[in-house]
Structure 1
Amino acid sequence: MRDPILTPIDGVPNLLLGSYDLSDLGYAAREVVIEGTASSYAPAGELAADGRWTVTPAARAEYATRAVTVVPTDAARFNGTVVVEWLNVSGGLDAPAVWLMAHRELARAGYAYVGVSAQRVGIEGGPGMVGDFSLKTVDPQRYGRLNHPGDEFSFDIFGQLGTVVRHRSAELLGGLHPERVLAVGESQSAMFLTTYLDAVAPRAGVFDGFLVHSRFGPAAPLDGGSLLDPATVARLPLPRFRTDLRVPVLAVITETDLLGGVLPGYFPARQPAGEYLRVWEIPGAAHADNYTIQGAFLDNGLVPVEELAEAYRPTSMLMGRQLAHFRNFAPQHHYVLHAAIARLHDWVGTGRPAPEAPPIDLTDGDRPAIVTDHHGVACGGLRTPWVDVPLAVTSGSNAEADRMASLFGSGTPFDADHLARLYPGGPTEYLTAFTAALDRAIDAGFIVSADRPEILELAALTARRHFAA
């Protein structure tokens, strides 16, 4: 099989990296077309729940996809790690979901980033929850040469990009020399990474570690079926990560992912931590939240904290639609993902495992519910100050029938009487308790210390608003 051909594309890549200038972060983006031949994979046995799958190469097809690189403009800042993201296509376009949620940590710590158009929908169009914003639709002149043969080839395409990152960095990364290459993906992409881990990674040996972010229960099909097709989903296994993992895997799961709704939940696939596996379940967090849709686009690390606080303000509007409730407005998902990136990087680089976290408490039965405390806040899981010292109940669930809206969970601020009972000393008592809980989360490894000043400023502004309401 010939090596992929790389061809740079001049101009601005079509990828929603943020509304700020990347130079504010000390970074620059470029785009490359990658052309090659990819294999699909066929099961060589049962796709069992233990995830220890065996596959063999099946069909072969030519492809031409694109990758977007985001690298430090000062090469001396590069920390040696490249994060390769399986771009998310659930909305009908390529979305850099992990970049949007974690770009602040990626930039301040000096990572290089590569976003890969691994799936057909992002290039050719197809099922999407928002519309058709595929590359060929929005800019046929720029992207007309691209060709994706189908999602059954996506696993090999993604793996080939990882190999290019590792061995052809002079062409792809402007001369940066990676020491570590991490694979990351969120939501639908996380389910494709689950299949990659269980079926392909043992034979490919490309990546040094994996961040599986907001996975639901199913693993993506090997045959190219869509995760937005109920008939496809109904036949999919809900596997665990294979127990003979060879590199570190850190999975981050929100309340939405755990119980499911849009898709079957992750809870049947739960498994204990292992030598190379850690799973962080975040109570009070939703699959998507205010930071996902507002804060991420403006957050370049330079905007005043007041603007960030405004982005977190409770709102019941979503994409021009009025919801019957506030969408999830808690900050913890974004900050915990920063820590997940940092801990995975350390684990791969030093061999020091990421910390373990307990699971969120669930009731017994085939249709479990999250156990909550007397405030209505989820019990168990990875603890943060937003659930240990709450001003509101935020959740991963809501009553929305619309698939997109259901991903944004819900939030209910405490009323004045509840706040007065909980914090009779007012904002001062609240902030003292919040600071202690924050420091516990930092000591446990679930928040990075670099975020502490911003979190405390944000907490003070949020407390002022809530106690004045």
Structure 2
Amino acid sequence: MTRPWRRAVLVAAGLVASLLTAAPAQAGAREPISRPTVRGPIPGSVPGDRLAADLADTYPFFSTPFDLARHGYVEQEFYLSGVADGWDTTGNRVATDVPYQTRLVVRRPANAQKFNGTVLVEWQNVTAGYDLDALWNAEATTRDGYAWVGVSAQRVGVDQLRGWSPTRYGALDVTGGRQFVTDELSYDIFAQAGKAIADPRGVSPLGRLKATTVLAIGASQSASRMTVYYDRVLPQVQPVYAGYGFIVGSAPTRVGAEPVFQVLSETDVRTPVRPADTDLFRRWEVAGGAHSGYNGQVYRAPIQERDLGGAPVYTCAQPPFSRVPVQHVTAAAYAHLVRWVRRGTPPPTAPPIVFNPDGTKARDALGLVRGGIRLSQVDVPTALNTGDNAGESFCLLFGTYQPFDEATLDGLYRTHVGYVARVVATDVHNVVAGYLQPADAADNLRAALRSDVGR
């Protein structure tokens, strides 16, 4: 009787042990991302008659006017389709295997020798009611050899595309036939886009290029959507992106395995209460920068004329559109994020914008905010650039730009050589600190040399 009893106890103990060791793995299991189908490139890459009956006579919405060919780049568009799960903003799954079809816009090197191996996958921003490639930085992207991919993940953008060109986009749908109209499918669609790029089967959105690093980036509202994905959805599914860039918007609070880089303009910094930097989180704040500044407005105006019939005109409380180039800092952040992912080298920290005890932003005698990453446009100023404004529509996002009068400039800079020397000193400091790339510092120098300041 003793031996059978002992044998039974041992067997039971073994079963319990196996269950205990299996339970954590099972509880922590992350579901694989479904593999989508990629079709394309879609004919019609040169702007023509978007309402033509022949698909080849249409063209991608917001196709870039930047001369890609001169920089060894091509622009192509693809259909992305499959079945996606739906998630609410708390991370609850609300649907499974819902059919969808959307589009990818790809701007990439034509030759593999120019490709740096990194793909920036942008969640297209739809705050204006249509897809906006808010983080497409033509000069830096082509100069540094990135591939850029824009993903149409949200209903508002896709609905506008369908109406804009029924021939090209009429079959697109990210709502499961209007069952899920609050972008429940967007998180899985964005993840599937990343999978199609990182691990292509069949048609590759990158052609013959092979990605070694795939990063997710999003601006403003898109950063908010990515925050929900990172905090709520990603813990339940297998990762496809190696790192994340949250630009002029929110960032995750969860500590995950993938590095998170947040870059904010002055506009976006509204409180002195901030999350601390960690081994997997960096936050940079750009003094004088606007949520939506001058560079983006100038780039988009001719596209809005072409594709929307006109660029919007705003009446703001202050002269709008800060000219502090936040995109220079973002370009530096991407380079750091790549090294962070590939080598485990964390980016440098940066000083925060300074607040007064009453919670307002501290400013100097010229009205410029104190602290933060101070590019030469702020540290060696020729105008008042801030992140603040007010008025109609999107004015609060534009910041301000008010050139100094001649008397103020004469008081600041006695000679042109002295002014240029100060610009160079500030930019060298920022390059060494890691906040600015040498090529962008060179652009600043050329602009300073052309100016009349101090003459």
Q: TM-score range by the shorter chain?
A: 0.7 to 0.9
Equivalent-residue separation in structure 1 for 2:353 and 2:152 (angstroms): 33
Partner-residue secondary structure (3-state), 1:403: coil
Which digits, 9 at most, give the CA deviation of each residue in 1:113-138, with x for residues without a partner? 111001111111xxxxxxxxx11111
Equivalent-residue separation in structure 1 for 2:385 and 2:261 (angstroms): 24
Equivalent-residue separation in structure 1 for 2:277 and 2:63 (angstroms): 33
Question: Structure 1 residues 450-459 or 186-195, which shifts more?
Answer: 450-459
Partner-residue secondary structure (3-state), 2:373: coil
Equivalent-residue separation in structure 2 for 1:268 and 1:152 (angstroms): 33
Which digits, 9 at most, give the CA deviation of each residue in 1:80-125, with x for residues without a partner? 11111100111111111111xx22222112111111001111111x
Residue type matched to 2:260 in 1? Answer: V
Equivalent-residue separation in structure 1 for 2:301 and 2:135 (angstroms): 13
Q: How do residues 194-273 of structure 1 correspond to structure 2 at under 5 angstroms? A: 194-204=227-237, 205-215=239-249, 241-259=252-270, 267=271, 270-273=274-277
* 2:332 counterpart of 1:332: no
Q: What is the aligned counterpart of 2:341 among 345, 348, 369?
A: 348
* 2:435 counterpart of 1:431: no
Residue type matched to 1:405 in 2? Answer: C
Equivalent-residue separation in structure 1 for 2:156 and 2:429 (angstroms): 43
Equivalent-residue separation in structure 1 for 2:254 and 2:171 (angstroms): 41
Q: What is the aligned counterpart of 1:163 among 177, 190, 195?
A: 195
Q: Where does residue 296 of structure 2 map in the other structure? A: 292
Q: Where does residue 422 of structure 1 map in the other structure? A: 412
Q: Where does residue 76 of structure 2 map in the other structure? A: 30
Which digits, 9 at most, give the CA deviation of each residue in 1:138-167, with x for residues without a partner? 101111111111311101110111111111
CA contact (8 A) 1:41 1:57 kept: yes
Equivalent-residue separation in structure 1 for 2:272 and 2:82 (angstroms): 38
Gaps of 5+ in 1: 48-54, 125-133, 217-239, 260-266, 299-317
CA contact (8 A) 2:322 2:398 kept: no
CA 1:296–1:77: 2 relative to 1, 3 Å: farther
Partner-residue secondary structure (3-state), 1:274: coil
TM-score (norm 2): 0.81
Q: What is the aligned counterpart of 1:107 among 142, 145, 148?
A: 142
Q: How do residues 19-418 of structure 1 correspond to structure 2 at under 5 angstroms? A: 19-42=65-88, 55-60=91-96, 61-99=98-136, 102-124=137-159, 134-149=160-175, 150=181, 151-168=183-200, 171-204=204-237, 205-215=239-249, 241-259=252-270, 267=271, 270-295=274-299, 319-364=312-357, 368-400=359-391, 402-418=392-408
Residue type matched to 2:187 in 1? Answer: F
Residue type matched to 1:359 in 2? Answer: P
Residue type matched to 2:449 in 1? Answer: A
Residue type matched to 1:441 in 2? Answer: N
Equivalent-residue separation in structure 1 for 2:395 and 2:67 (angstroms): 29
Residue type matched to 2:398 in 1? Answer: F
1:296 Cα deviation (Å)? 6.8
Runs of 4+ in 1 over 6 A off after TM superposition: none
Equivalent-residue separation in structure 2 for 1:27 and 1:421 (angstroms): 46
Equivalent-residue separation in structure 2 for 1:357 and 1:40 (angstroms): 38
Equivalent-residue separation in structure 2 for 1:197 and 1:58 (angstroms): 17
Equivalent-residue separation in structure 1 for 2:211 and 2:301 (angstroms): 28
- Count of residues paired in the alignment: 392
Equivalent-residue separation in structure 1 for 2:35 and 2:66 (angstroms): 36
CA 1:330–1:414: 2 relative to 1, 3 Å: same
Equivalent-residue separation in structure 2 for 1:369 and 1:19 (angstroms): 41
1:383 Cα deviation (Å)? 2.0
1:272 Cα deviation (Å)? 0.8
CA contact (8 A) 1:14 1:135 kept: no
Percent of pairs identical after alignment?
34
Equivalent-residue separation in structure 1 for 2:272 and 2:123 (angstroms): 24
Equivalent-residue separation in structure 2 for 1:164 and 1:200 (angstroms): 19
Partner-residue secondary structure (3-state), 2:185: helix
CA contact (8 A) 1:384 1:437 kept: yes
Equivalent-residue separation in structure 1 for 2:36 and 2:144 (angstroms): 30
Equivalent-residue separation in structure 2 for 1:413 and 1:138 (angstroms): 39
Equivalent-residue separation in structure 2 for 1:71 and 1:269 (angstroms): 39
Equivalent-residue separation in structure 2 for 1:336 and 1:407 (angstroms): 18
Equivalent-residue separation in structure 2 for 1:197 and 1:210 (angstroms): 9
Q: Where does residue 37 of structure 2 map in the other structure? A: 5
CA 1:284–1:37: 2 relative to 1, 3 Å: same
1:206 Cα deviation (Å)? 1.3
CA contact (8 A) 2:318 2:390 kept: no
Residue type matched to 1:41 in 2? Answer: W
TM-score (norm 1): 0.79
CA contact (8 A) 2:259 2:281 kept: yes
Residue type matched to 2:289 in 1? Answer: A
Q: Kindly report the root-mean-square deviation, in angstroms, between the aligned alpha carbons of the 2 structures.
A: 2.2
Residue type matched to 2:390 in 1? Answer: A
Which digits, 9 at most, give the CA deviation of each residue in 1:151-198, with x for residues without a partner? 111011101111111111652211211111000011111111111111
CA 1:56–1:183: 2 relative to 1, 3 Å: same
Which digits, 9 at most, give the CA deviation of each residue in 1:4-42, with x for residues without a partner? 222212112423253233212211111111111111224
Asked which structure has the greater CA Rg, the reply is: 2
1:420 Cα deviation (Å)? 2.1
CA 1:3–1:432: 2 relative to 1, 3 Å: closer
Equivalent-residue separation in structure 1 for 2:66 and 2:138 (angstroms): 12
Which digits, 9 at most, give the CA deviation of each residue in 1:197-248, with x for residues without a partner? 11122333111011111105xxxxxxxxxxxxxxxxxxxxxxx623422111
